[in-house]
Copies of this chain bind each other. A is one copy, B any other.
Amino acid sequence: MESRCENCIIRQFNSLRAMSKEELKQVSDSKTTRTVKKGEPLFEEGDKLNGVYCVRNGVSKLSKLSANGKDQIVKLASKGEVLGQRSVISQESTNLSAIAVDDMEVCFIPKESINNTLQKNPNFTLEVLRHMAHDLKEADDVIVNISQKTVKQRMAEAFLYLKNNFGEDSEGYLALTLSREDISNVVGTATESAIRIISEFKKKGLIHTSGKRIGIKDERKLLEIVEGF
């Protein structure tokens, strides 16, 4: 028994909430649910997407491969976010890869349902537009951060970001565990540099680690580092 979009709580978090009952029904009838294991791709750079993915569970990294063979992670998307919208809207192949960081559960919604609604329901289109405006603003912030802050500042910022957006587990570690390589790809630096700064932060008592898990110890000092001492 498939769950119905009409009853899906996830919907409250994204633009689908602006759909009418009938539109939602159509989406629900055409959607398929899929599980994606950690490390597997939802889609890859250059793919032509035939629809969008609505995240029900787990986290996906959106990244772009650069000429020198390193990934840059542009965004981490979790429960409630819709992936692939840009590609479907502009009818181009996607410029980002989406790879599962966790085990994921996603709904695939064929582009016909989306395009249909985009043309008929201005409220929905406006809602999508608002989300995209928000993403664009965030992207601008990322640009300024990467170009004007040091690696150390960006590392500190990344940890605070992870805490604020994904929370902590019962033992006080960041709920989202990324590999050191993924962290370096979020921050935009070499893996070795990321590791070195993790060691330094640990020595200074700002964070603590256990295996690959990282916990925040001194949020205030981390914030000071972000601001530049």
Contacts and interface: CB of A to CB of B under 8 A. Distances in A.
Given A74-B143, A118-B122, 19 more contacts: A67-B228, A68-B228, A74-B140, A85-B133, A86-B137, A89-B130, A90-B134, A90-B137, A95-B140, A95-B141, A122-B122, A129-B132, A132-B133, A132-B136, A139-B140, A139-B143, A143-B143, A143-B188, A146-B188
Nearest to A121: B122
Tell me the dominant secondary structure on chain A's binding face.
helix
Interface residues of A, number: 46
Interface of A: 64, 66-68, 70, 72, 74, 85-86, 89-90, 92, 95-96, 118-123, 125-126, 128-130, 132-137, 139-149, 188-189, 227-228
28 contacts: A64-B141, A64-B143, A66-B147, A66-B149, A67-B148, A67-B149, A67-B227, A67-B228, A68-B148, A72-B148, A90-B133, A92-B137, A118-B129, A119-B122, A119-B123, A119-B126, A120-B122, A122-B122, A122-B125, A128-B129, A129-B132, A136-B136, A139-B139, A139-B140, A143-B188, A146-B188, A147-B188, A148-B188
